[in-house]
Amino acid sequence: MSVKIAAEYLPKQLPPGAVVAVREYDEGRDKVEVEELERECEVLGQQGKASLVTDLMGDPICRVRHFPHHIMLVAEYGEGEIVGMIRGCVKTVTRGNSVYVKLAYILGLRVSPTHRRLGIGTKLVQKLEEWCKEKGAEYAYMATDCTNEASINLFTIKCAYKKFRTPTMLVQPVHAHYKPIGSGHEIVKLTPQLAESIYRRIFANSEFFPRDMDNILRNKLNYGTFMAVQKKYDWDPKAGVLPASFAILSVWNTKDVFKLQVKGVSALTYVGCMGTRLLDACMPWLRLPSFPDVFRQFGVYVLYGLHMEGQDASRLMNSLCAFAHNLARDDVGCGAVVAEVGQRDPVREAIPHWKRFSWAEDMWCIKKLGDAGEKCEQSDDWMNYYQSSSSVIFVDPRDF
């Protein structure tokens, strides 16, 4: 979200002799201060309006802990006061046509409201980029809401990132009633080994497909991989041949990583939203599209690896999404099912969602880092492949 700050909280230069040092996060030493900084930034963002607040579960570095190479940096001002932080990781992904590159992902940049416009954010990004290059990253990217002008300006103007991709975020609230599975459809749970084999085949020419897909599928947060097929088709998963029509996706449970909560709504809005929820629970046969209980902390299921093929593909994907919704409905405290896909991905039109909760463009910005990246010929530069790139973007669930 975009954040505006009163002018009195916007010093433009550090006092004489003041020093800002960037170092690696120390959980035992920094956890309390970092959590307080997160809360300060969220409260500032509300400004008397409805805001979506994130509560990290476990510890502040948990959002990148599931990557083999990850780090969190903090910025110290004066005598050890933490005034900023940033997280990052490095992974190996496809850039299309089965070509792999080392890519850094930058997220969670926070700067104290009383220490902004002092270059602290820029310094954190630069220090993180240095670490990423040490780990062999050729490119770095970040993702933000397309309306977040402050974040976009920092990365594109001050840090030389370029707007790269604009995937679509689709959100389906979890209702009090179950969603029906299409008649004649069957949902099959795949083993991690079979799921990995299928994914490597169907996403070979996509962008951002991770080389360590096996680690994702075996992660404790991975709920499972499921395929929707027609009952009349006698499909043998061990045969190595895909059905003529099918849909596939995996479910990632973020409840142990973070929880969300909407704050700042009016009493009238609250009563109206909860009224639809109560009516839906009392009369589920009406199948009302009730507003979920987002005013208490709720978890999210992330759907990833979405793909479909065949004449009945759209209906199969719809059934598969309904199945995922029902899994979330049985998980107490799960308030929404989320999927992020490329704007040109055919699967986009088959995913049920609420437009009022979803957004058409999630801005991804990218930068080619020095050394290894600069040695590439201009024609081989991933950043110049916009028109010829795959329509499919694989969204890593660990990025959430």
Ranges 232-236, 268-272, 283-287, 329-333, most confident: 329-333
50 has pLDDT over 60? no
pLDDT of 177-194, one tens digit each?
889 999 999 999 999 999
**CA 399 to centroid of chain Cα atoms:** 5
More confident call, 212 vs 359: 212
Percent over 90 (pLDDT), the chain? 56
Lowest average pLDDT, out of 6-20, 160-174, 322-336, goes to 6-20
Alpha helices, DSSP H, located in the chain: 27-46, 120-134, 149-153, 192-202, 213-217, 267-282, 313-329
pLDDT of 252-293, one tens digit each?
999 878 888 777 667 887 777 778 777 877 777 776 666 777
State the average pLDDT over residues 208-226. 96
232 has pLDDT over 90? no
Q: How many CB atoms lie within 10 A of CB 397?
A: 24
44 pLDDT band (50/70/90 cuts)?
Answer: very low
Predicted local distance difference test score (pLDDT) of residue 135: 96
State the average pLDDT over residues 43-59. 56
376 pLDDT band (50/70/90 cuts)?
Answer: very low
Q: Which residue ranges form the domains of the chain, and what is each CATH number?
A: 7-166+363-399 (3.40.630.30), 170-260+293-350 (3.40.630.30)
CA distance 29 to 286: 54
Q: Which residues pair with 141 in a beta bridge?
A: 105, 366
**CA 345 to centroid of chain Cα atoms:** 17
Q: Are 258 and 398 in contact (CB under 8 A)?
A: no
385 pLDDT band (50/70/90 cuts)?
Answer: low
Host H or E run for residue 92: strand 81-95
More confident call, 54 vs 320: 320
C-alpha dihedral over 106, 110, 111, 113, to 10 degrees?
150
378 has pLDDT over 50? no
